[in-house]
Amino acid sequence: LWYLFSPSVDKAWKELTNILSGIFCASLNFIDSTNTVTPTASFKPLGLANGTDHRLLRYTVLPREVVCTENLTPWKKLLPCGSKAGLAVLLKAERLFHSSYHSQAVHIRPICRDASCLAVSWELRQTLTVVFDSFCSSQGKKDWSLFKMFSRTLTDACPLASESKVYVDISPKNKEKELLEVTPAPTSVHEAVVQGDKRTYAVYDLLSPSLFNTSRSLNVQLKWKRPQDSSELPTPVLHAQRYVSGYGLQTGQICTLIYNTHPYRAFPVMLLETVPWYLRLYVHTLTITTKGKENKPSYIHYEPAQDRRRPHLLEMLIQLPASSVTKITIQFERALLKWTEYTPDPNHGFYVGSSVLSALLPSVIAMKDVDVEQSPLFTSLFPSSDGSSYFVRLYTEPLLVNLPTPDFSMPYNVICLTCTVVAVCYGSFYNLLTRTFQGGGGLAKRLANIIRRFRGVPPL
Partner 1 sequence: VVEGLALLDLGVSPYSGAVFHETPLTIYLFHFLVEYAELVFVITDVLTAVALYLAIQDFNKVVFKKQKLLIELDKYAPDVAELIRTPMEMHYIPLKVALFYLLNPYTVMSCVAKSTCAINNTVIAFFILATIKGSAFLSAVFLALATYQSLYPLTLFAPALLYLLQRQFIPVKLKSKNFWLYTMQYASLYLCSLVVIICLSFFLLNSWDFIPSVYGFILSVPDLTPNIGLFWYFFAEMFEHFSLFFVCVFQINVFFYTIPLAIKLKEHPMFFMFVQIAIISIFKSYPTVGDVALYMAFLPVWSHLYRFLRNIFILSCVLIVCSFLFPVLWHLWIYAGSANSNFYYAITLTFNVGQILLISDYFYAFLRREYYLTHGLHLTRQDGTEAMLVLK
User: What residues are paired with 123 via a beta bridge?
Assistant: 109
| 94 interacts with partner 1 by CB under 8 A | no
Bridge partner residues of 303 (DSSP): 313
Question: By C-alpha distance, which of 204, 229, 228 is closest to 218?
Answer: 204
Site for partner 1 contains 436 (CB under 8 A): yes
Which amino acid is it at 451?
I
Q: What is the Cα–Cα distance from 133 to 326, expressed in whole angstroms?
A: 31
Query: Contact between 451 and partner 1 (CB under 8 A)?
Result: no
283 touching partner 1, by CB under 8 A: yes
Q: Tell me if 306 contacts partner 1 by CB under 8 A.
A: yes
Count CB neighbours of 237 within 10 A: 23
CA 246 to each of CA 57, 243, 253, 340, 346: distance values in angstroms, whole numbers, following the listed order:
34, 10, 6, 27, 20
Closest distance to partner 1 from the beta carbon of 82 (Å): 45
Return the residue of 100, 227, 369, 437 that touches partner 1, per CB under 8 A. Answer: 437
Contact between 444 and partner 1 by CB under 8 A: the answer reads yes
Q: How far is Cα 204 from Cα 221, in angstroms, rounded to an integer? A: 12
Binding residues for partner 1, total number by CB under 8 A: 56
Cβ proximity to partner 1: between 243 and 302 the closer is 302
Q: What is residue 208's DSSP assignment?
A: S
Cis amide leading into 227 (omega within 30): no
Backbone angles phi, psi at 132, to 5 degrees: -90, 140
Residue 459 touching partner 1 (CB under 8 A): no
Residue closer to partner 1 (CB basis): 97 or 282: 282
Considering only residues 218 through 247, tell me which ones interact with partner 1, judged by CB under 8 A. 247
Look at residues 268, 300, 154 and name the one whose alpha carbon lies nearest to residue 218.
Answer: 154
Assess contact for 323 and 263: CB atoms under 8 A. Answer: yes
The answer to whether 313 and 39 have CB atoms below 8 angstroms apart is: yes
Identified binder of partner 1 from the candidate list 440, 454, 455, 456, rule CB under 8 A: 440
Task: Tell me if 450 contacts partner 1 by CB under 8 A.
Answer: no
Among 97, 122, 299, 302, binds partner 1 (CB under 8 A): 302
Nearer to partner 1, 135 or 430 (CB): 430
> Counting contacts by CB under 8 A, is residue 122 touching partner 1?
no
Q: Which is nearer to partner 1, 264 or 412 (CB)?
A: 412
Position among 277, 350, 378, 382 found at the interface with partner 1 (CB under 8 A): 277
Q: Spell 98-137 as b/e; 16+ CB within 10 A means b.
A: eeeebebeeeebeeeeeeeeeeeeeeeeeebebebeeeee
Rule CB under 8 A: is residue 438 a binding residue for partner 1? yes
Over the window 393 to 432, marking each residue x when it contacts partner 1 by CB under 8 A and - when it does not, the resulting string is -----------xxxx--xx--xx-xx--xx-xxx-xx-xx
Strands 389-395 and 312-320: unpaired
Q: Does 249 bind partner 1 (CB under 8 A)?
A: yes
Start-to-end C-alpha separation, the chain = 83
> x/- string (CB under 8 A) for partner 1, residues 327-366?
------x-xxxxxx--------------------------
User: Where do contacts with partner 1 occur on this chain (CB under 8 A)?
Assistant: 247-250, 277, 280, 282-284, 300, 302-308, 333, 335-340, 404-407, 410-411, 414-415, 417-418, 421-422, 424-426, 428-429, 431-433, 435-442, 444-445, 448, 460
